[in-house]
Amino acid sequence: MEKGIKNIIFDLGGVLIDLDIDRCLREFKALGVSNVEELVNSTHTAGVFSALEHGKVSPAEFRDEIRRLAGNPELTDAQIDNAWLSILLEIPQKKLDLLLRLNRKYRVFLLSNTNEIHFDWIRRTQFEKDGHRLSDYFEQCFLSHKMGLAKPEDEIFEEVINEAQIFARETLYIDDSEKNLNASLNWCFNTYCAAPGEDLAPLFENLVNE
Instruction: Point out the residues that are catalytic.
Output: 11
Measured distance CA(177)–CA(157) in Å, rounded: 15
Measured distance CA(178)–CA(183) in Å, rounded: 8
Closest CA to 103 of 50, 140, 51, 155: 140
Q: Confirm if 190 and 6 have CB atoms less than 8 A apart.
A: no
Measured distance CA(99)–CA(44) in Å, rounded: 26
Query: Which residues have CB under 8 Å from 144's CB, separation 6+?
Result: 53, 54, 55, 112, 113, 114, 115, 150, 151, 156
At 48 the three-state DSSP class reads helix
Measured distance CA(156)–CA(153) in Å, rounded: 6
Question: Phi, psi (5° rounding) for residue 123?
Answer: -60, -45
